[in-house]
Protein backbone atom coordinates (compact mmCIF):
# COMPACT_ATOMS: atom_id res chain seq x y z
CA UNK A 1 0.00 0.00 0.00
CA UNK A 2 1.38 3.35 -0.98
CA UNK A 3 2.17 5.77 1.77
CA UNK A 4 0.56 9.19 1.61
CA UNK A 5 3.10 11.91 1.88
CA UNK A 6 2.76 14.52 4.62
CA UNK A 7 2.29 17.26 2.08
CA UNK A 8 -0.66 15.36 0.53
CA UNK A 9 -2.25 14.95 3.99
CA UNK A 10 -1.90 18.66 4.60
CA UNK A 11 -3.56 19.46 1.32
CA UNK A 12 -6.42 17.03 2.07
CA UNK A 13 -7.04 18.63 5.49
CA UNK A 14 -7.20 22.05 3.88
CA UNK A 15 -9.88 20.77 1.57
CA UNK A 16 -12.14 19.73 4.57
CA UNK A 17 -15.06 22.11 5.24
CA UNK A 18 -15.15 24.09 8.47
CA UNK A 19 -18.19 24.32 10.82
CA UNK A 20 -21.34 25.56 9.16
CA UNK A 21 -22.53 29.03 10.17
CA UNK A 22 -25.95 29.53 11.99
CA UNK A 23 -28.23 31.57 9.86
CA UNK A 24 -29.86 34.81 11.11
CA UNK A 25 -33.30 33.25 10.76
CA UNK A 26 -32.39 30.48 13.19
CA UNK A 27 -31.06 32.98 15.73
CA UNK A 28 -34.25 35.03 15.54
CA UNK A 29 -36.41 31.91 15.87
CA UNK A 30 -34.59 30.69 18.99
CA UNK A 31 -34.72 34.18 20.48
CA UNK A 32 -38.47 34.31 19.98
CA UNK A 33 -38.86 30.91 21.67
CA UNK A 34 -36.86 32.12 24.69
CA UNK A 35 -38.91 35.33 24.93
CA UNK A 36 -42.17 33.37 24.75
CA UNK A 37 -41.03 30.98 27.51
CA UNK A 38 -39.92 33.85 29.77
CA UNK A 39 -43.24 35.65 29.19
CA UNK A 40 -45.18 32.46 29.94
CA UNK A 41 -43.26 31.87 33.19
CA UNK A 42 -43.73 35.50 34.28
CA UNK A 43 -47.48 35.40 33.51
CA UNK A 44 -47.87 32.14 35.45
CA UNK A 45 -45.97 33.53 38.45
CA UNK A 46 -48.04 36.72 38.46
CA UNK A 47 -51.31 34.78 38.24
CA UNK A 48 -50.55 32.53 41.21
CA UNK A 49 -49.16 35.45 43.25
CA UNK A 50 -52.37 37.42 42.77
CA UNK A 51 -54.50 34.38 43.57
CA UNK A 52 -52.56 33.72 46.76
CA UNK A 53 -52.93 37.38 47.83
CA UNK A 54 -56.67 37.33 47.13
CA UNK A 55 -57.11 34.15 49.19
CA UNK A 56 -55.12 35.68 52.06
CA UNK A 57 -57.23 38.85 51.94
CA UNK A 58 -60.41 36.75 51.93
CA UNK A 59 -59.25 34.83 54.99
CA UNK A 60 -58.37 38.06 56.79
CA UNK A 61 -61.73 39.58 55.83
CA UNK A 62 -63.51 36.48 57.07
CA UNK A 63 -61.55 36.56 60.32
CA UNK A 64 -62.29 40.24 60.83
CA UNK A 65 -65.92 39.58 60.00
CA UNK A 66 -66.09 36.85 62.64
CA UNK A 67 -64.55 39.22 65.16
CA UNK A 68 -67.05 41.91 64.23
CA UNK A 69 -69.94 39.48 64.70
CA UNK A 70 -68.47 38.39 68.04
CA UNK A 71 -68.06 42.03 69.10
CA UNK A 72 -71.65 42.79 68.09
CA UNK A 73 -72.94 39.80 70.00
CA UNK A 74 -70.85 40.81 72.98
CA UNK A 75 -72.07 44.39 72.81
CA UNK A 76 -75.68 43.18 72.64
CA UNK A 77 -75.44 41.69 76.13
CA UNK A 78 -76.90 44.12 78.70
CA UNK A 79 -74.33 45.37 81.18
CA UNK A 80 -76.68 47.12 83.57
CA UNK A 81 -80.04 46.56 85.20
CA UNK A 82 -82.24 49.34 86.59
CA UNK A 83 -84.51 48.16 89.40
CA UNK A 84 -87.54 50.37 89.74
CA UNK A 85 -88.69 49.93 93.33
CA UNK A 86 -91.44 51.48 95.38
CA UNK A 87 -88.74 53.66 96.97
CA UNK A 88 -86.92 54.71 93.79
CA UNK A 89 -84.44 53.51 91.17
CA UNK A 90 -81.47 51.23 91.84
CA UNK A 91 -78.92 50.83 89.02
CA UNK A 92 -76.82 47.68 89.09
CA UNK A 93 -73.72 46.82 87.07
CA UNK A 94 -73.79 43.13 86.08
CA UNK A 95 -70.66 40.99 86.49
CA UNK A 96 -70.90 39.03 83.24
CA UNK A 97 -67.25 37.95 83.33
CA UNK A 98 -67.36 36.77 86.95
CA UNK A 99 -70.73 34.98 86.96
CA UNK A 100 -71.77 34.43 83.32
CA UNK A 101 -74.35 31.70 83.93
CA UNK A 102 -76.11 33.58 86.72
CA UNK A 103 -76.12 36.83 84.73
CA UNK A 104 -77.59 35.01 81.73
CA UNK A 105 -80.30 33.53 83.95
CA UNK A 106 -81.00 36.92 85.51
CA UNK A 107 -81.29 38.59 82.08
CA UNK A 108 -83.61 35.85 80.85
CA UNK A 109 -85.85 36.27 83.91
CA UNK A 110 -85.88 40.06 83.45
CA UNK A 111 -87.03 39.64 79.86
CA UNK A 112 -89.76 37.28 81.03
CA UNK A 113 -90.96 39.76 83.67
CA UNK A 114 -90.05 37.52 86.59
CA UNK A 115 -89.14 40.41 88.88
CA UNK A 116 -92.23 42.56 88.24
CA UNK A 117 -94.03 43.01 91.54
CA UNK A 118 -91.42 41.01 93.46
CA UNK A 119 -91.52 42.03 97.16
CA UNK A 120 -88.60 42.54 99.52
CA UNK A 121 -89.78 40.03 102.09
CA UNK A 122 -86.83 40.23 104.50
CA UNK A 123 -84.95 43.38 105.49
CA UNK A 124 -82.15 43.18 108.04
CA UNK A 125 -80.69 46.54 108.95
CA UNK A 126 -76.93 46.91 108.46
CA UNK A 127 -76.91 43.56 106.75
CA UNK A 128 -79.00 42.67 103.69
CA UNK A 129 -82.35 43.08 101.96
CA UNK A 130 -83.85 40.02 100.32
CA UNK A 131 -86.36 40.00 97.48
CA UNK A 132 -88.26 37.04 96.11
CA UNK A 133 -91.60 35.38 95.53
CA UNK A 134 -91.10 33.09 98.51
CA UNK A 135 -91.64 34.13 102.12
CA UNK A 136 -88.81 31.88 103.28
CA UNK A 137 -85.78 33.73 104.68
CA UNK A 138 -83.32 31.30 103.07
CA UNK A 139 -79.73 32.48 103.40
CA UNK A 140 -80.61 35.40 105.69
CA UNK A 141 -81.92 33.02 108.32
CA UNK A 142 -78.56 31.25 108.65
CA UNK A 143 -76.66 34.54 108.81
CA UNK A 144 -79.05 35.91 111.41
CA UNK A 145 -78.81 32.83 113.62
CA UNK A 146 -75.04 33.16 113.56
CA UNK A 147 -75.25 36.76 114.71
CA UNK A 148 -73.83 38.27 111.53
CA UNK A 149 -75.90 41.43 111.63
CA UNK A 150 -76.02 44.87 113.23
CA UNK A 151 -73.00 45.63 115.38
CA UNK A 152 -71.84 42.01 115.44
CA UNK A 153 -70.45 42.08 111.88
CA UNK A 154 -66.86 40.95 111.46
CA UNK A 155 -64.56 43.94 111.03
CA UNK A 156 -62.09 42.06 108.79
CA UNK A 157 -64.42 42.32 105.83
CA UNK A 158 -63.92 40.58 102.48
CA UNK A 159 -66.95 42.00 100.67
CA UNK A 160 -68.37 45.46 100.29
CA UNK A 161 -71.88 46.73 100.80
CA UNK A 162 -74.32 47.22 97.92
CA UNK A 163 -73.47 43.92 96.21
CA UNK A 164 -76.15 42.08 94.25
CA UNK A 165 -76.40 38.31 94.49
CA UNK A 166 -78.62 35.28 94.52
CA UNK A 167 -78.74 32.15 96.64
CA UNK A 168 -76.39 29.28 95.89
CA UNK A 169 -79.11 26.81 96.80
CA UNK A 170 -80.31 24.76 93.83
CA UNK A 171 -83.64 26.01 92.60
CA UNK A 172 -85.66 26.46 89.50
CA UNK A 173 -85.86 29.83 87.79
CA UNK A 174 -89.15 30.67 89.45
CA UNK A 175 -87.41 30.62 92.83
CA UNK A 176 -84.62 33.01 91.77
CA UNK A 177 -84.20 35.55 94.58
CA UNK A 178 -82.21 38.75 94.93
CA UNK A 179 -79.97 39.85 97.77
CA UNK A 180 -78.57 43.36 98.13
CA UNK A 181 -76.07 43.77 100.93
CA UNK A 182 -76.27 46.92 103.02
CA UNK A 183 -73.01 46.25 104.87
CA UNK A 184 -69.83 44.22 104.23
CA UNK A 185 -70.40 40.49 104.74
CA UNK A 186 -67.19 38.46 105.24
CA UNK A 187 -68.71 35.05 104.46
CA UNK A 188 -70.87 36.21 101.56
CA UNK A 189 -69.57 33.55 99.16
CA UNK A 190 -70.74 30.76 101.44
CA UNK A 191 -74.42 31.39 100.69
CA UNK A 192 -74.70 33.86 97.83
CA UNK A 193 -73.38 34.11 94.27
CA UNK A 194 -72.47 37.75 93.70
CA UNK A 195 -73.24 38.82 90.13
CA UNK A 196 -73.53 42.59 90.34
CA UNK A 197 -72.94 45.82 92.24
CA UNK A 198 -75.12 48.85 92.92
CA UNK A 199 -73.57 51.88 91.19
CA UNK A 200 -76.51 54.27 91.59
CA UNK A 201 -79.33 54.41 94.08
CA UNK A 202 -77.42 53.48 97.23
CA UNK A 203 -79.67 55.95 99.05
CA UNK A 204 -82.71 53.99 97.84
CA UNK A 205 -81.19 50.77 99.21
CA UNK A 206 -80.61 52.52 102.54
CA UNK A 207 -84.18 53.82 102.55
CA UNK A 208 -85.48 50.29 102.06
CA UNK A 209 -83.14 49.16 104.82
CA UNK A 210 -84.78 51.62 107.25
CA UNK A 211 -88.35 50.32 106.87
CA UNK A 212 -90.08 48.97 109.96
CA UNK A 213 -89.98 45.18 110.27
CA UNK A 214 -91.45 42.58 112.62
CA UNK A 215 -89.47 40.21 114.80
CA UNK A 216 -88.83 37.99 111.74
CA UNK A 217 -87.36 40.90 109.72
CA UNK A 218 -90.39 41.07 107.44
CA UNK A 219 -91.39 44.62 106.41
CA UNK A 220 -94.61 45.79 108.01
CA UNK A 221 -95.57 47.72 104.87
CA UNK A 222 -95.46 46.38 101.32
CA UNK A 223 -92.24 47.25 99.51
CA UNK A 224 -90.71 45.69 96.43
CA UNK A 225 -89.63 45.83 92.78
CA UNK A 226 -92.05 47.32 90.26
CA UNK A 227 -90.02 46.33 87.18
CA UNK A 228 -86.48 45.79 85.90
CA UNK A 229 -85.04 47.46 82.79
CA UNK A 230 -81.90 46.11 81.09
CA UNK A 231 -79.42 48.54 79.53
CA UNK A 232 -76.07 48.46 77.74
CA UNK A 233 -75.12 51.96 78.90
CA UNK A 234 -76.17 54.20 81.77
- For residue 158, give Cα distances in angstroms to 42, 186, 195, 230: 71, 5, 16, 28
Q: Which helix (H) or strand (E) holds 29?
A: helix 24-76
What is the per-residue burial (b if ≥16 Cβ within 10 Å, else e) of 105-128? bbbebbeeebbeebbbbbbbbebb
pTM for the whole thing?
Answer: 0.62
User: What's the confidence (pLDDT) of residue 153?
Assistant: 39
> Among 181, 189, 197, 222, which residue's Cα sits nearest to residue 86?
222
pLDDT of residue 103: 94
Specify the pLDDT at position 145: 46
Running along the chain, 234 residues long, what does each successive block of 10 average in pLDDT? 55 54 77 82 77 64 49 68 96 92 94 94 92 66 47 47 86 79 80 91 96 93 95 91
Amino acid sequence: MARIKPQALLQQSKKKKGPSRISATTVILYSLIVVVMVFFLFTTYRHWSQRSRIQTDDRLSSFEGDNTIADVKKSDVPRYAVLKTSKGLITVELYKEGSPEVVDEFIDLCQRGHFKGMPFHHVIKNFVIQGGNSDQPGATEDWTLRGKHSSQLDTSVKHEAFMLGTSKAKHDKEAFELFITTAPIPDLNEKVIVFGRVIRGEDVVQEIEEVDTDEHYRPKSSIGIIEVTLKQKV
